[in-house]
Amino acid sequence: MRVLVVEDEAAMADALARGLTAAGFAVDVSRDGEDGLWRATEVEYDAVVLDLMLPKLSGYDVVRRMRAADVWTPVLMLTAKDGEYDVSDALDLGADDYLVKPFSFVVLLARLRALMRRGGRERPAVLTAGDLVVDPAGRSCHRGDVEIRLTAREFAVLEYLMRRCGEVVRKRDLLEHVWDDYFAGDPNVVEVYVGYLRRKIDQPFGRAAISTVRGAGYRLEADGG
């Protein structure tokens, strides 16, 4: 899943990016409100982590303009401002949640997952396709009673496909949401990871959950193959 972090404090932005990446997210970082607004309205994100006190545009202005532009990406405000009116103003302008610094990173991850479940499309807590079950919060994957161990990147690819179960997902969409803007490697890395997944979630079970749609992309079958 792809997250935008809008934070002008370099150390905090870097720490958030490292932590979220380690948790399996693709992360983009903006260091001011103007760039953050541009990214949030031009790129599809699954969530935005937004500071309030930013150069050029405040977090209040960013979320207000996002909503005015009919961009409904879930927004988690992350700020040192802890006054009740600060919280009220942020939520009234369109933020979905508010977390005060210093914060627990475990709580931040839990709140991001909750926001994603409540986003514009249906986001169940546990994803299923037949007997294939993915639990994003628990970072676990099962075929029936058999646990399947996945790397962070494999898990991210599978989660993205599962959230769009039955739909054709373009290779480009996977690159944008599982990797990030700065990925400069071979785009065929998507095919490589789909191959890894097939060898783990399909072949040992005689299944074919992930199908290739020639010239279009990949589809995870709703019945789990």
pLDDT in tens, 55-70: 999 999 999 899 888 8
What percent of the chain shows pLDDT beyond 70?
Answer: 94
pLDDT (mean) for 130-151: 91
**pLDDT band for position 88 (cuts 50, 70, 90):** confident
For the chain, what is the mean pLDDT?
88
pLDDT band at 136 (very low <50, low <70, confident <90, very high): confident
* Of residues 44, 43, 159, 50, the one with CA closest to residue 96: 50
pLDDT of residue 36: 95
Residue 185 pLDDT > 90, yes or no? no
Quote the distance between the C-alpha of residue 170 and its chain's center. Answer: 17
**Residue 121 scores a pLDDT above 80:** no
Res. 212 pLDDT band, cuts 50 70 90: very high
Average of per-residue pLDDT across 190-211: 94
pLDDT of residue 173: 87
Task: Give the pairing type, strands 217-220 and 210-213.
Answer: antiparallel
- Tokens at 209, concatenated: 């959950």
Among 66, 41, 45, 54, which Cα is nearest to 13's? 54
2-117 topology per CATH: Rossmann fold (3.40.50)
pLDDT at site 182: 63
- Classified as helix, coil or strand, 93 is helix
Which residue ranges make up each domain of the chain? 2-117, 127-220
Over residues 8-46, the pLDDT tens digits come to 999 999 999 999 999 889 999 999 999 999 999 999 898
pLDDT for res 123: 44
Cβ atoms within 10 Å, residue 208:
12
Q: What is the CATH number of domain 127-220?
A: 1.10.10.10
Residue 102 preceded by cis peptide, ω within 30:
yes
Decide if 209 contacts 201 (C-beta within 8 A): yes
Q: Which residue has the higher pLDDT, 157 or 188?
A: 157
- So what's the pLDDT on residue 39? 95
